Chain A
Amino acid sequence: MRVNRIEELARAAEAYPLLADLRPEHLAKLVEIAEERSFEQDEIIFGEGATSECLFLIASGKIALETIAGGKRIVIQTLSAGDAMGWSALTHSAKTHFQARALSHVQTIAFEGAKLAVACEYDPVLGYEIMKRLLALVTERLDHTRMQVVDMYGKRAAARS
């Protein structure tokens, strides 16, 4: 189902750091290429190493990013409403790094990477706005990952904080 009203997305935009405070004309361009996509519980949204096709904004539900480590499938991070996922779709490598699995029924707003890239190329101001927000998002994700890597609850890390 297509998102066909600017107001609707504009209202929803505040819930997504990637869209918050965008100019109406930029939002309008994004509405052009936005799609609603839903996934059932346990559905694989994309596999690890797959071609990254879409950037998703999660509207509801919970998603696990997973990988195989030590022969076991482990969860790296869970994502939920407001989070963005699949930003490798905007990079040229365009391969996903983790598997994304729906932990519940999930609703998303999806942007096809190729279309989003064209929109950004065509309108560098929009492109820059998107990239700034994407960078903030990646930075936050990186900070969180660093904290997890520190293993702060582990015996060794406890005193070294």
Chain B
Amino acid sequence: MSIAAIPLPDPMCPLPVRISEVVRETHDTYTLTTTAANGSGLPPFLPGQFSMVFEFGVGEVPISISGDAEIPGQLVFTIRSVGAVTAALVGHKPGDYLGVRGSFGTAWPLEAARGQDVLLVAGGIGLAPLRPVISHVARHRSDFGRFLLLYGARTPKDLLFRKQLHAWSALPESQVLVTVDCADSRWRGHVGIVTKLFDFVNLRPERTIAMTCGPEIMMRFVIRALRARKLEAGQIYLSMERNMECGIGFCGHCQMGPLFLCKDGPIFAYLQVERWLEGHHEL
């Protein structure tokens, strides 16, 4: 039996990239800017997509792309050191090389968000996958209504992109609110969970698109809070996380119900995952 198949470049081989810049965001999180090594081009990406980032001889991890999608020729990754591979990745200096595969997965709904108020709710490292959305909204500010960013972190020391948070709050018709779970008395900002920040914004539910990324438990609370504020399920998008090893639907690890998070996600309309997020744990 012969079968028709389209030959594709080997999707399992990483492409070498050169680190051009390393920024220490927090005590455990670094942002690495990479450019093509080898003269080969880098794949373009859409806000919300991820790459499999390869540390030579150690392994590969899925990392959301946190850069500006309209700056060609670079891929930016904000990486928190939580395991062997990520610990090795954040230890690099400019000039070192890494491998990347892809930009993989689905993107945030920027088209659907045109003309709408854009509400982003981020928790912890979950701000990184949303940063390309912010860059996009900032570049095309007049294409969108109000811009609202609610961001929760563990402590003030864990806040990512501190300088940019200030810059974003200065965008026209924008509000950036930050809260932490725990702070010492030098912190003058909010202390409490991220949903408490909803008290300080005036949502226009009929013209808002909400995008959230953070720990699953946080997103469940955020979605409840959004629904309580009269947002329809169809106006809510989120980014999900599971173990991913291949990035293209072959390894099987990232399944949640019928979904492969790597190719059907990581960005989902809430309606796609409602059933799997509410009620059933250990899926």
Contacts and interface: CB of A to CB of B under 8 A. Distances in A.
Interface stretch (A20-28, A30-38, A117-125, A145-153): A145-153
Interface residues of A, number: 26
A159 to B, nearest CB: 8
Given A153-B215, A155-B82, A78 B191 contact: yes
B216 interface: yes
Interface in B141-185: 152-154, 158, 179, 181-185
A75 B215 CA distance: 23
Contact of A151 (B154, B179, B184): B154
B196 interface: yes
Interface in A123-161: 144, 147-148, 150-155, 157-158, 161
A147 B196 CA distance: 12
Contacts of A150: 217
Given A64-B185, A75-B182, A103-B188, A144 B215 contact: no
Contacts of A103: 188
For A64, A77, A101, the residue with the greatest tally of chain B CB atoms inside 10 Å of its CB is A77
Nearest to A154: B154
A72 interface: yes
B111 interface: no
A121 to B, nearest CB: 32
B187 interface: yes
Contacts of B154: 151, 153-154
A60 interface: no
A144 B154 CA distance: 14
Contacts of B190: 62, 78
A50 interface: no
Contact of A72 (B82, B125, B184, B188): B184
Contact of A157 (B125, B179, B189, B215): B215
A139 B126 CA distance: 27
B188 A148 contact: no
Contacts of B153: 153
B191 A76 contact: yes
A96 interface: no
A92 to B, nearest CB: 28
A46 B179 CA distance: 23
B124 to A, nearest CB: 4
Nearest to B215: A152
Contacts of A78: 179, 189-192
For A101, A152, A157, the residue with the greatest tally of chain B CB atoms inside 10 Å of its CB is A152
B152 A144 contact: no
Given A78-B191, A154-B154, A155-B82, A147 B184 contact: no
A24 B140 CA distance: 50
Interface string A59-72: 00010101000001
Contacts of A12: none
A74 B182 contact: yes
Contacts of A148: 181-182, 192-193
Contacts of B181: 147-148, 151, 153
Given A147-B217, A153-B158, A74 B123 contact: no
B221 interface: yes
A7 to B, nearest CB: 25
A156 to B, nearest CB: 10
Those 5 A-B pairs whose CB atoms lie nearest each other, nearest first? A153-B124, A161-B217, A161-B216, A153-B154, A152-B215
Given A148-B182, A153-B125, 5 more contacts: A144-B193, A147-B181, A147-B217, A153-B123, A153-B215
10 contacts: A62-B190, A74-B183, A76-B182, A78-B189, A80-B199, A151-B181, A152-B215, A153-B181, A153-B215, A158-B124
